[in-house]
Amino acid sequence: MTEAALREKVARLGKSMFDRGLMFGSPGNISVRLADGWLMTPTGTSLGALDPARLAKIDAAGQLVGGDPPTKEAFLHPVVYDRRARAGAVVHLHSTHSVAVSCLCGVDHSNVLPPLTAYYVMRVGTLPLIPYFAPGDIDLARAVGELASRHHAVLLANHGPVVAGKTLDDAVYATEELEETAKLFLALRGMATRPLTQAQVDDLQKRYPLNFSGRQRALCC
Ligand SMILES: [Zn+2]
């Protein structure tokens, strides 16, 4: 895909997520990998009103070489690309249900959400919780980086998800699946629930491997 087409796609998918209530105001950010760097959503700009021509362009050395200055949370993105060579895009949202789950006591920090649906297992798999750090704290980037080599999706406590994908479509779909599963999880709180069994999860992971590059299409980077 050309850089121009990627720019259009970032703006279109950003607006789509904004229009469907996955984001509000100006937080939330998207990046995509280019042959010579990255495109990143600008600081202080709503995902619902992105101008493709003004996306921040960052070179391989991390310098801004075009467009508006990048999101204040830009530091979250390179640590993921550094550790996931096949990642083509990263999406970070403050989507309501995912953030709500990130604030709960008593969740399993190694895997916050149960395998409620097949598509959650196929697109997200496991979701570790990263402890709270103030936005901009370099230790937050360090904590994301430590898990990014093993997990394409992580949940920042009291903050929101960071999700990588082979393509921007993959990253957006996985982020949306995560948000809908968080919504289901909250709707089912206090109710007797039947998540998928470990055997069913194992079967899905065999059929649709997340980190596999064989004949089947891997759903993840
Ligand atoms: Zn954030």
pLDDT at 31 over 80: yes
Instruction: Identify the bridge partners of residue 57 per DSSP, sorted by sequence position.
Output: 39, 66
Average pLDDT taken over every residue of the chain: 93
My answer on whether 128 and 54 are in the same domain is no
My answer on whether 215 and 107 are in the same domain is yes
pLDDT at 214 over 60: no
Distance (Å, whole) CA 72 – CA 51 = 18
pLDDT at 211 over 60: no
CATH classification at residue 23: 3.40.225.10
Domain that holds residue 66: 1-74
Q: Report the separation in Å between the CA atom of 217 and the middle of ligand 1, taken as the mean of its atom positions.
A: 30
Torsion angle, alpha carbons of 121, 124, 125, 126, to 10 = -140
Q: For residue 105, tell me if it sits in a domain.
A: yes
Q: Report the separation in Å between the CA atom of 210 and the middle of ligand 1, taken as the mean of its atom positions.
A: 25
Distance (Å, whole) CA 115 – CA 120 = 7
Mean pLDDT of 17-28: 90
pLDDT at 216 over 60: no
pLDDT at 167 over 90: yes
My answer on whether 31 and 114 are in the same domain is no
Instruction: Identify the bridge partners of residue 32 per DSSP, sorted by sequence position.
Output: 39, 89
Distance (Å, whole) CA 219 – CA 221 = 7
The pLDDT score that the predictor gives to residue 210 is 75
Sole residue written with tokens 């995912």: 98
Q: For residue 87, tell me if it sits in a domain.
A: no
Number of domains in the chain: 2
Mean pLDDT of 96-114: 97
My answer on whether 70 and 102 are in the same domain is no
The pLDDT score that the predictor gives to residue 219 is 59
Contact assessment for residue 131 and residue 143, using Cβ atoms and an 8 Å cutoff: yes
| Percent of the chain predicted with pLDDT > 90 | 88
Q: Report the separation in Å between the CA atom of 204 and the middle of ligand 1, taken as the mean of its atom positions.
A: 31
User: What SS3 state is found at 98?
Assistant: helix
pLDDT at 164 over 70: yes
How is residue 17 annotated by DSSP? H
Q: For residue 177, tell me if it sits in a domain.
A: yes
Q: For residue 2, tell me if it sits in a domain.
A: yes
CA angle 215–217–218, rounded 5-degree value: 110
Task: Say if residue 121 is exposed, middle or buried (CB neighbours under 10 Å; 0-12, 13-18, 19+).
Answer: buried
My answer on whether 45 and 102 are in the same domain is no
pLDDT at 212 over 60: no
Mean pLDDT of 155-176: 97
pLDDT band (50, 70, 90) for residue 24: confident
Q: Report the separation in Å between the CA atom of 161 and the middle of ligand 1, taken as the mean of its atom positions.
A: 8
Mean pLDDT of 192-207: 95
Among 188, 180, 219, smallest CA distance to 20 is for 180
Q: For residue 18, tell me if it sits in a domain.
A: yes
My answer on whether 152 and 103 are in the same domain is yes
Q: For residue 83, tell me if it sits in a domain.
A: no
Torsion angle, alpha carbons of 45, 12, 89, 212, to 10 = 150
My answer on whether 61 and 108 are in the same domain is no
Q: Report the separation in Å between the CA atom of 25 and the middle of ligand 1, taken as the mean of its atom positions.
A: 12
Among 185, 200, 164, 189, smallest CA distance to 111 is for 185
Q: Report the separation in Å between the CA atom of 160 and the middle of ligand 1, taken as the mean of its atom positions.
A: 6
Weakest-pLDDT range from 40-49, 148-157, 185-194, 203-212: 203-212
pLDDT band (50, 70, 90) for residue 161: very high
CA angle 89–94–99, rounded 5-degree value: 120
Q: For residue 80, tell me if it sits in a domain.
A: no
Digit-coded pLDDT (tens) for 117-156 = 999 999 999 999 999 999 888 899 999 999 999 999 999 9
Q: Report the separation in Å between the CA atom of 92 and the middle of ligand 1, taken as the mean of its atom positions.
A: 6
My answer on whether 195 and 118 are in the same domain is yes
Q: Which residues are catalytic?
A: 73, 119
Digit-coded pLDDT (tens) for 37-85 = 999 999 999 999 999 999 999 999 999 999 999 998 999 999 999 999 9
